[in-house]
Amino acid sequence: MNVKRGIVVSHMAMNEWGAGMVVAVADGRATIQFSDGIIRKIAASHYTTLQPADPASYLPPPECDPIVKKVRAVRKSVKKIKEPVV
């Protein structure tokens, strides 16, 4: 299959992903935004698992606030210095 930016595809083994739009093709892989809201990168060696899909079947994910990851607090260890015994 000829994969290029802007086409709509579906993954034969992963129907639950829905249809996906190719948003970029570079470095031997395609970046595809699927209808389930996840962007996946598919290697060129796996293009055979993709098939053309009806453009009307692609439903872009609903716009939502970006997901903010929680940042864990980093503890700095304090080096204890032994005082000389006098």
Residue 16 is assigned to a structural domain of this protein: yes
Q: What is the pTM of this model?
A: 0.68
pLDDT at 71: 59
Predicted local distance difference test score (pLDDT) of residue 8: 95
Looking at residue 72, its pLDDT comes to: 65
Of residues 16, 44, 9, the one with CA closest to residue 30: 44
83 in any annotated domain: no
DSSP code string of 2-39: ---TT-EEEETT-GGG--EEEEEEETTEEEEEETTS-E
Contacts of 44 (CB under 8 A, 6+ apart): 3, 28, 29, 30
Please list the ranges in the chain whose pLDDT falls under 70.
63-79, 86
Q: Taking the CB of residue 53, how many other CB atoms lie within 10 A of it? A: 18
Domain containing 30 equals 8-57
What CATH code is carried by the domain that includes residue 39?
2.30.30
The confidence score (pLDDT) of residue 36 equals: 87
* Total domains in the fold of the chain: 1
